Amino acid sequence: PSCDRNQDPILDVLRARFADRREVLEIGSGTGQHAVHFAAAMPWLRWQCSDHADALPGIRMWLDEAALANTPPPFALQAVPEPAPGFSPLPSGRYDALFSANTLHIMGWAEVEALFGALPQVLVDDVIVAIYGPFNYGGEFTSDSNREFDGWLKARDPRPGIRDFEAVNAL
């Protein structure tokens, strides 16, 4: 349901930002629902899904049902802080756009740093990076619901949490 609510506002931004892009790497594709919606609306893009290996069957179902020519099979990808920060496994392609939705607050900060540290290995120099999700600004929550969500995340595992925009932007 949240994807249904947010996909069109996100698409409005991506359509403008990715107008001159050709190869998109999506990190943390989840179900594949966003990928199908965006790839169908922007057929000039090759939309490459990636996620943990256990998410790939669900992504494949969405992609197979949509049968879009611009959505190749998804591949497994994780940001790992050890033994050296980076991607595991390292993708072989180079991308001129990156999209990720609702991922940074699920990862630990070490994984967020590893993700951004690995990007130069798979992205071209003039890449457009689009990250969607909840953020704090100036160290402050933007809503009570985000504060509660952050508390819920940290009660499950102390490593995740809503990230400060400024810290992510610095990466």
Q: What is the pLDDT of residues 20-41, one digit of tens each?
A: 999 999 999 999 999 999 999 9
Which residues are CB-neighbours of 148 under 8 A, at least 6 positions away? none
Percentage, residues of the chain above pLDDT 90: 89
Other Cβ atoms less than 10 A from the Cβ of 90: the count is 10
Backbone angles phi, psi at 156, to 5 degrees: -80, -35
Question: Mean pLDDT of all residues in the chain?
Answer: 94
| Residue whose pair of structure tokens reads 């920060």 in the numeric block | 85
What confidence tier does 6 reach under pLDDT thresholds 50, 70, 90? confident
Contact at 8 Å (CB) between 162 and 149?
Answer: yes
